[in-house]
A = this chain, B = another copy of it.
Amino acid sequence: ARESDHQPAERSVEFPVSVVLPAGGTGERTGLQTPKQFCSFLGRPLISYTIQAFERVSWIQSIVVVVAKENMDLMMDIIQRFQHRKVRVVPGGSTRHRSIRNGVLALGEGEGEEKGEQTLPAGRPKVAIIHDAVRPFVEEDFLYKIAVAAKEHGAAGAIRPLVSTVIATTSENYLDHSLERAKYRASEMPQGFRYDVICQAYQRCTESDFEFGTECLHLALQYCGTNAKLIEGPPTLWKVTYKRDLAAAESIIKETLSRSACIITGGSAQAAALADALHKAVGALDMELDVIPDLVGVNSRYLLKEWNFIQVSGSQSGLSEVEALLTSLEAVNRALLHPVIVIWVHLNCSDELSISGRMAEPTAIMDLASVAKLRNILLYGIQLHQSKGTECWERSASRVAEITSALIRDRSPALVGQLLQA
């Protein structure tokens, strides 16, 4: 039921597959100034999420992104900033089909040729996958199905059931007739083509096709006699089209990043007891927790695996453990693609603290958080006053869980550095 699970497929394809990503849209339907593919989600443009979805698939060789000429520089900046590999950028044409053709031709070009700092194309592919820049949640197993079916049948495309009845209208906008919903499907992306099929389709099609057409499967049928194999895709293949879709996409990304967290106890018995209580309380909130004493040895793997860290500190400790965690995360460049959450949970026996101690912490965590934020790490603090009975302790632990869960799900940059009370 999770909408955006990334399940690495166990299968690999044995033939060369490359990808064309048309990203020339102007975003008129969102009602926003920025074209959708360049809208940012947690600090990263949508197009980068889509590129990443293909880049992580081992058997995909090369990705050609087709953008409007005026966005070439912006696109190159995005590729450099988020360290994308396998990607080339080519300028688009005046229509969708002209842009896709440019991308398809670019897949066959420049083999072995040095092109400045750009990654080299891997050579003429057997299958070209065409996708939309604004469908970021495509999964490896579905790409596998499309690639294999495209090789076998010449063309393959994703379909979805129709959500609404489709009707034909008269020229005066009256109902003419309605289609029987069960006989029709919505044609979605990705689509896959044998490279010779898609090249031939674009060689043979007319100027009118280039000008007014939108459906690649139609060109393959009309000009190559290839009836595409249609494969039902998951709902996550939907196209980010309207303003509301931006919120939907962000919520899927946030949900993906909020499925698990790592609690670091620092080894103290006090902290381990809190971690236990949190485990229970956060478990009830549908988030998986790993509890570890530290990030040393085999546990250092969590630095490369986890997006959320909860550092529990005993009453005597300051922020030194958090500082060490921040340093480790920066060392492995963990926050390159997504903001990493670090929550410092401080067990505070009020009586022990001097006034100066009480004053110093809010300033110290705020300063640390300001610096971390520049590196895409969002740091928050939670103070738990524990000089109370068992019942209060449980209530506090459940409040820590509630706050922790909200901080991880919201990923709010405005609240970094705050020392919250549980």
Contacts and interface: CB of A to CB of B under 8 A. Distances in A.
B230 A175 contact: yes
B168 A160 contact: no
A168 B183 contact: yes
Given A227-B174, A230-B174, A244-B251, A421 B419 contact: yes
Interface in A28-84: 29, 31-32
B186 A165 contact: yes
Contacts of A415: 403, 406, 415, 420
A421 B166 contact: no
A127 to B, nearest CB: 17
A170 interface: yes
Interface residues of A, number: 74
A330 interface: no
A242 interface: yes
Given A169-B159, A217-B167, A248-B245, A405 B410 contact: no
Contacts of A186: 163-167
A1 interface: yes
A319 B201 CA distance: 72
A248 B243 CA distance: 9
Nearest to A181: B214
B169 A185 contact: yes
Does more than half of chain A's interface fall in helix, strand or loop, or is it mixed? mixed
A230 B184 contact: no
Interface stretch (A114-122, A192-200, A233-241, A292-300): A233-241
Given A166-B184, A227-B170, A230-B174, A252 B241 contact: no
A31 B402 CA distance: 24
Contact of A167 (B173, B185, B241): B185
Contacts of A181: 214
A175 B176 CA distance: 25
Nearest to A160: B164
Nearest to A162: B166
A221 interface: yes
Given A178-B215, A238-B244, A248-B247, A159 B167 contact: yes
B414 A412 contact: no
A383 to B, nearest CB: 9
A139 interface: no
25 contacts: A1-B32, A3-B242, A3-B244, A29-B235, A159-B167, A164-B188, A165-B186, A165-B214, A166-B187, A167-B230, A169-B230, A170-B227, A174-B227, A174-B228, A175-B227, A178-B215, A178-B217, A178-B218, A244-B248, A244-B252, A403-B415, A406-B412, A415-B415, A418-B420, A419-B421
Given A3-B244, A165-B187, 14 more contacts: A1-B32, A3-B242, A160-B164, A167-B186, A169-B183, A169-B184, A169-B185, A174-B228, A176-B227, A178-B187, A238-B244, A244-B251, A355-B355, A415-B415
3 nearest A-B pairs in the assembled complex, by CB-CB distance:
A247-B251, A406-B414, A1-B31
Interface of A: 1, 3, 29, 31-32, 153, 155, 157, 159-160, 162-170, 173-179, 181, 183-188, 214-215, 217-218, 221, 227-231, 235-236, 238-239, 241-245, 247-252, 355, 362, 366, 402-403, 405-406, 410, 412, 414-415, 417-421
